[in-house]
Structure 1
């Protein structure tokens, strides 16, 4: 009887782990990721708040685990170090201005971030798996916890959140880039910036629904 009871507990625990990551299957389940993550941003200019997107070409990613049974295993504890001089907005002239007037006015040439928490939403069959990552972002010598809403679908994990440059004491950087691009920005560079990261997660030994 005890053997049956403990077997039932093990089955329930395994089912809960699969439900947490939004995957149901039989015979176990393994999630795996590679060592690559793309970090992106969208900054905003002009009174109409027109978005300008970009990425960073040099991002050092340290995953918590390469493989595991849940998103928590893979991502909580994962971190990135971003070289701000590698900013890429697909416009070399604009990139040079961003480095000179924005990032060079900060105390460090790198931005770091670490995933510290994970809360999944309720799962719906056939729909993307969603939830919140809590991310500790350090920029200009200041660390702030940023909620980033994630969506996982067809092997791709993407998370997005918003930071306020004033929270990172980046007033001088914001003023400098606004002055350098005053006419192009029509006198307005916004202090809120959308940040994101994207990576691939492969599910094996189970049925991804």
Structure 2
């Protein structure tokens, strides 16, 4: 009987201390989680525009098969950005200018033709200009006004944010918005044979794809 009592006492003591040990661990875990949450609340971050990490890529399409030809612009002028508590807000009221002479398709001869026979036949288009009209962070929309061929057109673009980078991808941008069909025809004429596909038809599509990516500077305190 005495032995059974000692056995029960030992088991009870072990259970008690094990229970106390678990409570201590749980308490430490809760305290640690609370400290992490408090640190996150105290951390305040601001974001700022970084021109060196901003790019504009374009893709035009040739032949009936719609083969893409991509390029960039080597120069971009951006003004009126601001330091903000969110990435999208950095671009509120921003303005931009893209000198068309810096077009770069990785083919110098083609670049000369694009400059002379596409942009060159437009009205007052030494630069493509634009401004941000507003940002709606709730639905991920950035509104821009883009001016080319002396015509301004407003657009609503969806944007994504990943790794401190705001990205806009606009497919099917119709050049007819800027009455640029004569420029399309002009470039297709000078590049007639180069724009022929397997069917022998020469074609330059009157639309482009534009991709903008801007990685902002992040500063947390």
Give the TM interval when normalised to the shorter protein. 0.7 to 0.9
Structure 2: any 5+ residue segments left out of the alignment?
Answer: 1-39, 197-201
Matched, 1:175 2:185: yes
* Matched residue count: 173
Distance in 2 (CA, whole Å) between partners of 1:103 and 1:75 is 27
Structure 1, residues 5-53: CA drift from partner, whole Å, max 9, x if none?
Answer: xxxxxxxxxxxxxxxxxxxx42222122223432221111111111111
Matched, 1:42 2:59: yes
Matched, 1:148 2:163: no
Alpha carbon RMSD of aligned pairs, Å? Answer: 1.7
Q: Choose from 76, 81, 95 the match for 2:97.
A: 81
SS, match of residue 190 in structure 1: strand
TM-score, scaled to structure 1: 0.76
Q: Choose from 198, 203, 210 the match for 1:188.
A: 203
Does the 8 Å CA contact 1:79/1:113 hold for their aligned counterparts? yes
Structure 1: any 5+ residue segments left out of the alignment?
Answer: 1-24, 123-130
Deviation at 1:58, TM superposition (A): 1.8
Structure 1, residues 130-170: CA drift from partner, whole Å, max 9, x if none?
Answer: x2211100000001112222221112222121421111011
Structure 1, residues 35-93: CA drift from partner, whole Å, max 9, x if none?
Answer: 3432221111111111111111121111421x111234310211111111110011111
Higher normalized helix content (fraction of residues): 2
